[in-house]
Structure 1
Amino acid sequence: MAEGVGKASHDGAGHRARLRQKLAISGGEALHDHELIEYLLALAIPRRDTKPLAKALLREFGGIGGLVTAEWDAIGRVPGMGDTSIAAIKIVQATMLRMLRNTVAERPVLGSWQALLDYLRVDMAWLGIERVRVLHLNSRNMLIRDETMSEGSVDEAAIYTREVIRRAMDLGSAALILVHNHPSGSVDPSRQDIDITRQIAEAGKRLGITVHDHVIIGAQGHSSMRALGLL
């Protein structure tokens, strides 16, 4: 059925009213995951029973996290989803990222580590391809630039020591945090991850640029090479 086709029944309208009342009185915690997505979709396609579609989306992407962070085209391949309903899903991610990024930008990164991890998780944990990014910090460990260095396949994205250090010099960075995701979900660093991190750290050290950490993000959580004693 195409987006917006078909009218919700009177009982459906009553059901939405009950969801709205639960949200108003008790907040989002009172609603199940499928009810949150159902109500969100109802705002985008109000003349349709969105409960089956919400459940189908959660099954397809493995939960709210996977759904909200999924690529636009991937969501669009689910029958019943069109641009308006996809936009409703993606605006949630955009809002979350804006809020979390502002929190990260307002304080020294090393003193707001959990906020940084939350931000990275919303942006990267469920990506279908590997993405490498570098966070550039000033001498007070404030974020001055958050840049994607490369994107690759489901299991590999290139990162080059020369490019990372050259960009850090261009920006006047005092320190770096390297980040990439593992689409497999596992957050264990590979031998290649460890080697390239040490190469960048050594090159940076010669120029007075500190590599604080290399964080790996995945659906199963995160790992820190610094915490693992690998850096």
Structure 2
Amino acid sequence: MVGKTSEPQIPSEPAEAPHYHGHRERLRERFYAAGPDALSDYELLEMALFAALPRRDTKPLAKALLRKFGSFAEVVHAPVARLREVEGIGDASINQIKLLAASASRVAKGEIKRSIALSSWNDVIDYCRTGMAFADKEQFRVLFLDKRNRLIADEVQQTGTVDHTPVYPREVIKRALELSSTAIILVHNHPSGDPTPSQADITMTKAIVAIAEPLGISVHDHIIVGKGGHASLKGMRLI
């Protein structure tokens, strides 16, 4: 009996790589050759999402995030619940986005701690805005300094609602004494975006100054940060 012969196998053509693979390589090459300034905000977000979405074109998602939140900084500091509102965003993407926010904050904090003193006010402002300007709730934090204006500690004292944070002046000064701090910088954010100090902000700051001064603790400033910029109570001659 004659055996059944199989038909010759025709080699199949290799599957065509998704169109975005070439785009990713070009983006990486431009990033390394020309630096991050050569890329737009959505392109940086695209690259940040590569690892989270290896089999998906990340450009539409990056553009959708910027449309919703307005800027690169607002995307990376957006609350997790609001990020999930964007179609296509999952846990892996959120992890990558929050890694960007954490990295920016860690770098800013490292720059401050490495400096001998807080001699550059721009560095202080950048540091404060990186950590707080885009938060969705008010935070009140204190930078505790030594007699050479070196940072001893940066601590969040209170977290409140979207427009109010309870602050207890005696607790702030008590903590300064515990750390042997001779100067402090008060910082809080306005989630509304407008950094203009309220009357409550001014009254609270003056109360802290009144307690700190007899104890030899200097209140260098109270800085309010928001998406729209920052305000310095000292610069405004309110303290």
TM range, normalised to the smaller chain? Answer: over 0.9
Q: Cα offset for 1:130? A: 0.7
Q: Distance in 2 between matches of 1:84 and 1:192?
A: 41
How far does the alpha carbon of each residue in 1:37-78 deviate from its partner, in whole angstroms, 9 at most, with x for none?
Answer: 112112221101111111111112111010111223332332
* Structure 2 residue 164 is matched with structure 1 residue 156: yes
User: Are the equivalent residues in 2 in contact too, given 1:109–1:116 (CA < 8 A)?
Assistant: no
Gaps of 5+ in 2: 1-15
Runs of 4+ in 1 over 4 A off after TM superposition: none
Q: Distance in 2 between matches of 1:105 and 1:21?
A: 34
Give the corresponding residue for 1:119.
127
How far does the alpha carbon of each residue in 1:68-95 deviate from its partner, in whole angstroms, 9 at most, with x for none?
Answer: 1122333233221122111111111212
User: Are the equivalent residues in 1 in contact too, given 2:118–2:151 (CA < 8 A)?
Assistant: no
Following superposition of structure 1 onto structure 2, how do residues 196-215 of structure 1 map, counting pairs within 5 Å? 196-215=204-223
Give the corresponding residue for 1:225.
233
Following superposition of structure 1 onto structure 2, how do residues 54-73 of structure 1 map, counting pairs within 5 Å? 54-73=62-81
Give the corresponding residue for 2:184.
176
Give the corresponding residue for 2:200.
192
User: Are the equivalent residues in 2 in contact too, given 1:141–1:175 (CA < 8 A)?
Assistant: yes
Q: Distance in 1 between matches of 2:50 and 2:150?
A: 41
Larger radius of gyration: 2
Give the corresponding residue for 2:143.
135
Question: Cα RMSD between the aligned structures?
Answer: 1.5
Gaps of 5+ in 1: 1-7
Query: What is the letter of the counterpart of residue 79 of structure 2?
Result: E
Secondary structure at the counterpart of residue 216 of structure 2: coil
Query: What is the letter of the counterpart of residue 112 of structure 1?
Result: S
Q: Distance in 2 between matches of 1:39 and 1:19?
A: 8
Q: Distance in 2 between matches of 1:49 and 1:120?
A: 34
TM-score of the aligned structures, taking structure 1 as reference length: 0.92
Distance 1:108 1:178, change over 3 A: farther
User: Are the equivalent residues in 2 in contact too, given 1:215–1:223 (CA < 8 A)?
Assistant: yes
How far does the alpha carbon of each residue in 1:131-159 deviate from its partner, in whole angstroms, 9 at most, with x for none?
Answer: 10011111111111111011111111111
Distance 1:88 1:219, change over 3 A: same
Greater mean alpha carbon deviation, residues 46-55 or residues 78-87: 78-87
Secondary structure at the counterpart of residue 47 of structure 1: coil
Q: Distance in 2 between matches of 1:205 and 1:54?
A: 50
Greater mean alpha carbon deviation, residues 135-144 or residues 79-88: 79-88
Greater mean alpha carbon deviation, residues 94-103 or residues 125-134: 94-103
Q: Distance in 1 between matches of 2:107 and 2:211?
A: 34
* Structure 2 residue 153 is matched with structure 1 residue 145: yes
Task: Give the fraction of aligned pairs with identical amino acids, expressed as a percent.
Answer: 46
* Greater fraction helix: 1
How far does the alpha carbon of each residue in 1:94-130 deviate from its partner, in whole angstroms, 9 at most, with x for none?
Answer: 1221111111112254303212211111111111111
